[in-house]
Amino acid sequence: MSTTASTTTTATPSTPPPVSPARVLVVDDDPTVAEVVTGYLRRAGHDVGHAADGPAALDAAARCAPDLVVLDLMLPGIDGLEVCRRLRAERPVPVIMLTARGDEDDRIAGLELGADDYVTKPFSPRELVLRVESVLRRSRAATPGPAGRGLLTGAGIRLDPRTRRADRNGRELTLTLREFDLLAHFLTQPGRAHGREELMRDVWGWDFGDLSTVTVHVRRLRAKIEDDPAAPRLIQTVWGVGYRFDAGGDAGAGAGGEEGSR
C-alpha cells in the first residue's frame, strides 16, 4: 500500500543489540497508517497503543506512561507540535515525529521541541521500527551502566553516564536524550573536530539521515550550556568540518554560528 512505500534511504544501524519490549504510543489520525505502524511494532514484540487525535494522545500518555511516542504532526484537536510540547513538559519521554510534511521548518520545529527523531511519509515501516528501537536503546542507557563509565568533566560541566545527570557550575542541566548523548560524546573527545556525518553515526547510530538534525541539536545544546549561545565558546564551529568542544571554553567565540548549516 502507498503508505508503506520505502523512502530512497535505507536504514543501516551498526550492529545494534536486541531491544526488550516497550510500551509505544502511536498517534495518527489516518487509520491505514496507524494500522501499519502498530502492526509492525507489535510484530517486533512491543506493547502498542493508539490515539487518533491530540487530546486522546495526551490522555493515553497520562494513563499508560509510554516508553516512546510515535507522533504525527497533522492531528485534529491539538496539533502534534503542541502535543509534543506538553508531553515533554510532563516528563522526558522519547518522541519520534511521523509526518507527511516535507517542509524543513516543520521538522526543525519538532526537533526544537525535543523530538528525538522524525520519519517522513511515505515511509518504510521496517525502517520506522529500527528507528524506534534505536531511540529506545539509547533511552534505556539511563539505567546504571558499567563501573568503567565514570564521570565526564570539562568547562565546569560534570556528566554522569550511569545516572544520566549533568550539571554546569553546580546548576543541573535539563537535557533531552540526544542532547545528553551529544554532550557526552563531546566530553569524551575534547579539542577534536567532529563532522556532522560522524556525529549522526556515533550519537544517533545511523549511517544516513538529514544532517539538519545534528545542527538543531547542537543549537539546543548551546542554548543550555553556553553563557552566550550567540557567541559560543564551548561548542565551536569548525568551518567546513563540523564542531569542536573546547573543554577550557577559551577563545574562539567568533567561530560561532552553524557550520554552513546545510
Mean pLDDT computed over 215-222: 92
- The H-or-E segment that residue 25 falls in is strand 23-27
Angle, helices 80-90 vs 104-112, to 10°: value is 20
How many C-beta neighbours within 10 Å does residue 210 have?
Answer: 17
Q: CB-side exposure of 73: number of CA atoms within 13 Å?
A: 23
Q: What is the pLDDT at residue 209?
A: 65
Is residue 112 exposed (0-12), middle (13-18) or buried (19+ Cβ within 10 Å)?
A: middle
Q: What is the pLDDT at residue 135?
A: 86
List, in order, residues 6 or more apart from 3 with CB less than 8 Å away. 30, 32, 33, 36, 121, 122, 123
Over 60: is that where the pLDDT of 122 sits?
A: yes
pTM beyond 0.85: no
- The H-or-E segment that residue 39 falls in is helix 31-43
pLDDT tens readout for residues 221-246: 999 999 999 999 999 999 989 999 99
Q: What is the pLDDT at residue 8?
A: 36
Given phi > 0 = left and psi -120 to 50 = alpha, else beta, which region is 165?
Answer: beta
16 within 8 A of 136, measured Cβ to Cβ = no
Q: What is the pLDDT at residue 17?
A: 63
DSSP state of 221: H
Q: Of all residues in the chain, what percent carry a pLDDT higher than 70?
A: 82
Longest CA span, the chain: 55
d(CA 255, CA 231) in angstroms, rounded, equals 8
Mean pLDDT computed over 10-19: 52
Q: What is the pLDDT at residue 116?
A: 83
